[in-house]
Amino acid sequence: MEENKGKILWVDDEIDLLRPHIRLLAERGYDVSTATNGEDAVGMVKEKAYDLVFLDEMMAGMGGLRTLAEIKDLRPNLPVIMVTKNEEETLMEEAIGVKISDYLTKPVNPSQILMACKKFLEGKKIAGATVSRDYIKEFNEISVALMNDLSYTEWIGIYTRLLNWSLELDEHPELGLTQTLTDQYRECNLAFGKYIESHYRDWVESTKNRPALSHEIVDRFLIPELQRNKSVFFFVVDCLRLDQWQMMEGLLHEYFDISKDYYYSILPTATPYSRNSIFSGSFPSEVELRYPELWEKNEDDENSRNRYERQFLDGLLERRKIQLKPEAKYVKILDAEFGRGIESNINSYANSKLTSIVVNFVDMLAHGRSDSTLLKEIAPDESAYRSLTKSWFVHSSLFGMLKTLSKNRNVTIILTTDHGSIRSLRGSKVLGDREASTNLRYKYGRNLKCEEKAAIFVKNPLEYKLPKRGVAVNYIIAKEDFYFVYPTDYHKYLNQYRDSFQHGGISMEEMILPVVKLEPKG
């Protein structure tokens, strides 16, 4: 006899006919109790904790559906499998309505019963063993792949495979593989940093053998949609990582046909650079020539540097000789109340050919977690941070807008982000003059110095298509999960910003980003 695999209650007014099935389950290690009517079954559920119930639908006295309802009142999470001769669709729908777990039609055979037991009583254990085996295989494949000279498309593949395993292991924390995966992310980001350092300067000089970059989003993904006879909504969700998008995507399949592409953010992966680049269709150095006031000294407020997005987009469309009537609309959502107002009126925006909507909440969440003990408690790690993002999205005006727009077949939605973020765990001491910027993942100023392993040094900003900001200014851009700390009050700020989500640097999480097309299902 095998060890007990779970306690089963089988309720059927012809239970004697099922003895062969019950003996089979007992031989396989299940503890099976029986009842011949609903009243006894409810009493037994009151007295004893069962793991699974098989319930006959047609019984004298208290019928199966009423028994099911009373069992669910007592133990809402107890899985119940309805067993019936009745194949009517209305019965199936009624049973589903009272939260049945599964449905079997008589006569049942032993393999059906055994499969149901394994699914509900051993499913997590069996799945966990499969996940462990498959992840170890994948771990080795990724480690071998890192030894090769990967292309930008292969790096997207590496990152998406890691993300898929992150989401899988979120469901199986008991396997103890989270740290192994975290270590592999770090190993991959080490190699990714070297890859970007070797190739990025070529990318900004040529369009050959490189991914789409921030300044090409409008040309590649938005403008083609403007040629169609539909109203286009362009959503840019600030600081949205690919794993956070995956959480959102699962909730949107009900409403949209979804197609997904990828692009790489420009450097630094920060709003003044990457989002301005998206809307202007230009590299930051080119933006500097047209709007020199954007790059005034000691101006570190990101919001103040993104005041011109509407003008940037209008100018880009004008350069592409695209005339929109009525003219394009632009909305920036910085708080929940304003977002609700836009949500309630979103249908009116469908009268325009193009509406651009910037949503800032995810960026605010990343920054807020740095300063809030409560948010760190709620989201102590990557898994919880994804979960928190999903919780926000479910109740957000963004989800509300998307659901409303999904009812309009004359709408197409392009959704993307300007950059991601990375959980910064290693501080690196940086030296610079008083006028150097205060950002944690990138800095610009004179005579900046830090550990070579922590950053790339940009001596000539124009090689990276970055603003010159005056004579003798250089940049440093953090790699992997490093963040910069000045020597003054070093330990205070080292501890304050350790384990915070930051952006501006070089990592898969910050640079490899989704561009999504949503077509309403109707």
Distant-in-sequence, close-in-space partners of 325: CB < 8 Å, separation ≥ 6: 353
- The verdict on whether omega for the bond into residue 326 sits within 30 degrees of 0, i.e. cis, is yes
C-beta separation of 28 from 53 below 8 A: no
Please report which confidence band the pLDDT of residue 298 belongs to, taking 50, 70 and 90 as the band edges. Answer: very low
Q: 330: which strand partners?
A: 356
Q: Average model confidence (pLDDT) for the chain?
A: 90
SS3 297: coil
Average pLDDT value for residue range 478-506: 93
Give the residue ranges of DSSP H helices in 281-328.
Answer: 284-290, 309-319
Tell me the average pLDDT across 457-480.
90
User: Which pLDDT value is given to residue 370?
Assistant: 81
Q: Which CATH number fits domain 7-108: 3.30.70.20, 3.50.30.30, 3.40.50.300, 3.40.50.2300?
A: 3.40.50.2300
Inform me whether the pLDDT recorded for 303 exceeds 70. Answer: no
Stronger pLDDT, 346 or 472, i.e. the higher one: 346
Q: Residue 300 pLDDT more than 60?
A: no
The pTM (predicted TM-score) of the whole model is 0.85
Closest by CA position to 197, among listed 471, 449, 511:
511
pLDDT tens-digit series, residues 87-106:
666 666 666 666 788 888 88
Spatial separation of the C-alpha atoms in residues 206 and 223, rounded to whole Å: 21
371 vs 208: CA distance, rounded Å: 42
Rg of the chain over all Cα atoms, to the nearest angstrom: 28
Q: State the Cα torsion 471-477-483-487 to the nearest 10°.
A: -30
- Give the C-alpha separation, 65 to 99, whole Å: 10
Number of CB atoms found within 10 A of residue 434's CB: 7
Q: Provide the terminal-to-terminal Cα distance of the chain, rounded to the nearest Å.
A: 55
Q: Are 333 and 358 in contact (CB under 8 A)?
A: yes
Domain regions of the chain by residue span? 7-108, 123-204, 214-422+510-520, 424-502
**Measured on CA atoms in the order 386, 390, 396, 402, is the torsion positive or negative?**
positive
Whether residue 1 is predicted with pLDDT greater than 50 in this model: the reply is no
Q: What is the pLDDT of residue 63?
A: 85
Peptide bond into 520 cis (omega under 30): no
Please give the average per-residue pLDDT across 44-57, as a whole number: 92
195 touches 155 (CB < 8 A): yes
Query: Does the pLDDT of residue 294 top 70, yes or no?
Result: no
Q: Three-state SS for 456?
A: strand
Cα→Cα distances 403→129, 148, 342, 355, 415, Å? 38, 44, 13, 16, 14
Supply the pLDDT for residue 498.
93
What does the pLDDT average to over 247-276?
96
On the question of pLDDT at 2 being above 90, the answer is no
CATH of 214-422+510-520, one of 3.10.350, 3.40.720, 2.60.40, 3.30.1490: 3.40.720
Among 59-68, 95-104, 270-279, the range scoring the smallest mean pLDDT is 95-104
Q: Does residue 457 surpass a pLDDT of 50?
A: yes
Q: What is the DSSP string of 96-108?
A: HHTT-SEEEESSP
Cis bond leading into 268, ω under 30°? Answer: yes
Which residues lie below 8 Å from residue 115, measured CB to CB, with a gap of 6+? none
Question: Measuring CA to CA, how many Å separate 416 from each of 234, 271, 484, 500?
Answer: 8, 13, 28, 23
Q: pLDDT exceeding 70 applies to what percent of the chain?
A: 94
Q: Among 516, 453, 510, which Cα is nearest to 239's? A: 510
Are the C-beta atoms of 369 and 501 separated by less than 8 Å?
yes
8-state DSSP, 3: P
Across 119-206, the runs of DSSP E, i.e. the strands, are none
**Range with lowest mean pLDDT among 22-26, 58-62, 405-409:** 58-62
The pLDDT value recorded for residue 150 is 97
Q: Which residues of 84-111 are buried (b: 16+ CB within 10 A; e: fewer)?
A: beeeeeebbeebeeeebbbebebeeeee
354-409 confidence digits (pLDDT tens): 999 999 999 988 888 888 888 889 999 999 999 999 999 999 999 999 999 999 99
- Predicted pLDDT at 94: 64
What are the tens digits of pLDDT across the range 142-191? 999 999 999 999 999 999 999 999 999 888 888 888 899 999 999 999 99
